Amino acid sequence: MRLMSWSSRVRSRFDYGWIVVVASSLVMLTSYGMYVTYGLFMNPLAEEFGWSRAAISGAYTLSSVIQGIVGILAGVWTDKLGARVVVTISGVLFGSGYILMSWAESIWGLYLFFGVLTGIGLSGLWVPPLSTVARWFTRRRSLATGIVLSGMTIGQIVAPPIISRLIIAFGWRSSFLIPGIVALVVIVAGAQALRKEPRVQQSVASKDDIEVGKQVPGLTSWEAVRSRQFWIVSAAFFSVGIAAFGPLIHLVPYAVGAGLSEVSAANLLAVHGAVGIPGSFLLGGLLGDSIGNRKTFMVGLTLVVVSLLLLVSARQVWLFYLCAVVLGTGMSCMATAESPLVAEIFGLSRHASIYAAVGIGYTAGVGLGPLLFGSIFDGVGSYSPAFFLSTALGVIALVLITVLRPSRRLTH
């Protein structure tokens, strides 16, 4: 009896949901911290093989498209098997893609190793962790999501300076090999802590989380796809993907073309990642729990549009850094609001599957954006038309999110 009483007191002071948050943060830190540095390899690959920026960007586009398509399966498997299995397999594939890139000798190797293998790996490294966190929290869902995404932004702080210096010191091949080994080990280790759902009657951290065994409210996947809200969210995410990630992936070559050094340009990505910590944790997390995730998403999107307008005329170093701050804050704010927004609109019953399905629009935009930027630059020798296009798409996405409301079934 005394042992049971002691065990109950320990459980009351300890909520495993926060372990899930820490593990998910570690997965995000490693995978997306590395993935965002792809632009650092653009010039080295072009110099060694003579490939155009559009051709190099195409591998990133392919990985993003595959990530979105396979992400649906990852979401379905997460709802059935849990995130532990999905993230473990994904970590092995993601790390292997980077390791094999160190032996790439042709364009097909770039597209196969980075485009296909890394894309399949990434498909299970976004939705499964975030969906698992969403199931563990209710009242503090936005805050918990913001903490997870803060891990991703820490990765964006650490990875660009490290990888840029690895490229300078050892070349681009070793700069794929070493991070690939690290990613495989760290992601697989972090995945082992991801339990499918709470095992206690009530989450101590949230006080009002859903009880185990109680029916979880929400639409089925088929009901979600048939709803107007599904297509509004998908279209908005698609526009956001182009508007935000086209400029981000080409930020380094754009800044170098404007006169910044390679290291200074790489530091822009670090600054972009650094502001993501307060952007995810404070602006996205706390604001989302206070005013709702739809409005929080709109705040972040507005900041992204402002940063794009500033980047068009950016020539001074300080203005580039200001743009990186505004862009990073806006993107992290939107990223934090995504998963809770999907939960608010469609419920939790099939959250991972629905989140992955609407995420196709986002990943398609993420993939198309860099390709459009590279093609426009190759065609006219300037990034300005691409920035204006991204700005227009950002405004369109803002209008779509403005008219978005939860499904009538959940409202009732």
3-state SS, one letter per residue, for the chain? CHHHHHHHHHHHHCCCHHHHHHHHHHHHHHHHHHHHHHHHHHHHHHHHHCCCHHHHHHHHHHHHHHHHHHHHHHHHHHHHHCHHHHHHHHHHHHHHHHHHHCCCCCHHHHHHHHHHHHHHHHCCCCHHHHHHHHHHCCCCHHHHHHHHHHHHHHHHHHHHHHHHHHHHHHCHHHHHHHHHHHHHHHHHHHHCCCCCCCCCCCCCCCCCCCCCCCCCCECCHHHHHCCHHHHHHHHHHHHHHHHHHHHHHCHHHHHHHCCCCHHHHHHHHHHHHHCHHHHHHHHHHHHHHHHCHHHHHHHHHHHHHHHHHHHHCCCCHHHHHHHHHHHHHHHHHHHHHHHHHHHHHHECCCHHHHHHHHHHHHHHHHHHHHHHHHHHHHHHCCCHHHHHHHHHHHHHHHHHHHCCCCCHHHHC
Given this model, what pLDDT does residue 236 score?
Answer: 93
The pLDDT, as a whole number, for residue 81 is 85
pLDDT at 67 (0 to 100)? 85
- Classify domain 16-198+217-406 by CATH number: 1.20.1250.20
The pLDDT of residue 198 is 59
Could you tell me the mean pLDDT of each successive run of 10 residues in the chain, 412 residues long? Answer: 43 68 93 87 90 87 85 86 92 96 92 95 90 82 82 81 89 93 95 73 39 54 84 92 86 83 79 75 68 86 91 83 89 84 81 83 82 85 86 93 73 48
What was the pLDDT predicted at 281? 62
Q: What is the pLDDT of residue 205?
A: 41
Q: What is the pTM of this model?
A: 0.69
**Confidence (pLDDT) at 256:** 84
What ranges do the domains of the chain cover? 16-198+217-406
